[in-house]
């Protein structure tokens, strides 16, 4: 199981996956927005999305868990 963390403080602009979806390394999962810049969050391993802990529009802090991959 892998947890993907936010590398920055920002807002969840777009969620590109859903629970149960199979993903591969380097797939884009979430796009964060901070200071009008978009920061994509990429999958770090192959697996299945088991949990999404944020929703579009949420403000997140650096280090917050965004997505769990199993």
Question: What pLDDT, on the 0 to 100 scale, is given for residue 1?
Answer: 85
Question: What pLDDT, on the 0 to 100 scale, is given for residue 10?
Answer: 97
CA 43 vs CA 36, 47, 61: distances in Å: 23, 9, 19
d(CA 30, CA 34): 13
What residue has token string 């964060």? 32
DSSP letter at 15? E
Over the stretch 1-60, which tens digit does the pLDDT of each residue have? Answer: 899 999 999 999 999 999 999 999 999 999 999 999 999 999 999 999 999 999 999 999
Question: What pLDDT, on the 0 to 100 scale, is given for residue 13?
Answer: 97
Task: Walk me through the domains of the chain, giving residue ranges and CATH numbers.
Answer: 2-69 (2.40.50.100)
Query: Is the model's pTM score more than 0.85?
Result: yes
């Amino acid at each position: 199981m892998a947890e993907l963390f936010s590398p920055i403080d920002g807002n969840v602009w777009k969620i590109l996956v859903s629970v149960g979806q199979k993903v591969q390394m380097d797939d884009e999962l979430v796009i964060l927005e901070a200071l009008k810049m978009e920061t994509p969050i990429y999958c770090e391993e192959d697996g299945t999305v088991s949990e999404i802990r944020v929703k579009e529009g949420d403000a997140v802090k650096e280090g917050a868990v965004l997505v769990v991959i199993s």
